[in-house]
Amino acid sequence: MPLLVLVNIIATGTPWFDTGKLPILIAAIIAIGIVLIATYHRRSRERFQLRKIAGLEAVEEAIGRATEMARPLLYTPGWGGDIQRPTTIASMNILSHVAARAARYDCQLVYPTHDPVIMSVAQEVVKESYVQEGLADRFNEDNIRYVSSSQFGYAAAVEGLITRLEPASIFLLGTFEAESLIMAETGNFVGAIQIAGTDSTIQLSFFIVACDYTLIGEELFAASGYLSGDQSILASVRAQDMMKLIIMVLLLIAVIWASFAPDSTWWRF
């Protein structure tokens, strides 16, 4: 197939390189370079520090509270996502940390989900966390359960679990839609500490009102690196911040140039 494409290019006289996509190539090279620098440059790693995030600082408090009260933790990734969504992957990373602490403190962790694939992955993540803590015998596969693929059937099932179990702490981390307020209000009613986070700007307002702590925007994606201190994850956060700074500088230059030289077109490429 590549040979046929090459023959077609030569036969039709098609240019070998599309100059219209040159800016994309340059941006890709810069992005790759920034990621490599952030990952492997020792001085960059030593200087970089994440700011304090209240919702993540409260994770230990939430797990400790559940342990002291002899009540379970409830963790849900929401209804709106599947295993391929970045929010679901970020939620799994946080789940690993929460499960490890739950195993160490012998605290029951309940994980209801709407997707059988997410359920299977969550079972493996939680089991691995228990094994790493040397407490595999405490793992109960039935606590990670599939409830319903229907949005409000899922919301009703989780609401019922919260009402019956009265968990001391609830983690609402993932992709949420209209079911978010139902679960958050129920958790608030039973007096649970609630830590929430999602990439949906619409649902964030409900979480901010009904939950104790809310991870806003990229705080959810930085959470696993924040909690674990994993340098490979922190490197990606560093790279994102550096690229944002470059984009801000370029936008500022473009605005100034367009203001003083409005007839110039070079910056519009």
Asked whether the predicted pLDDT for residue 34 surpasses 70, the reply is yes
User: Any alpha helices (H) in 70-200, and if so which ranges?
Assistant: 86-104, 116-132, 151-165, 179-189
Q: How far is CA 267 from the centre of its chain?
A: 34
What would the pLDDT profile of 160-176 be if each residue is shown by its tens digit? 999 999 999 999 999 89
Secondary structure (3-state) at 170: strand
What's the N-to-C CA distance of the chain in angstroms?
32
List domains and CATH numbers for the chain: 54-228 (3.40.50)
Highest-pLDDT range among 47-51, 72-76, 86-90, 222-226: 72-76
Winning range, highest mean pLDDT, from 44-58, 150-164, 255-269: 150-164
146 strand-pairing partners: 113
pLDDT of residue 80: 79
Q: How confident is the model at residue 232 (pLDDT cuts 50, 70, 90)?
A: confident
Residue 2 has pLDDT above 70, yes or no: no
Place of tokens 């023959």: 7
Instruction: Round to whole Å and give the CA distance between 250 and 136.
Output: 52
Over residues 172-190, the mean pLDDT reads 91
Q: Note if the pTM is more than 0.85.
A: no
pLDDT band at 239 (very low <50, low <70, confident <90, very high): confident
pLDDT above 80: residue 120: yes
Task: State yes or no: pLDDT of 123 exceeds 80.
Answer: yes
Percent share of the chain, pLDDT over 70:
87
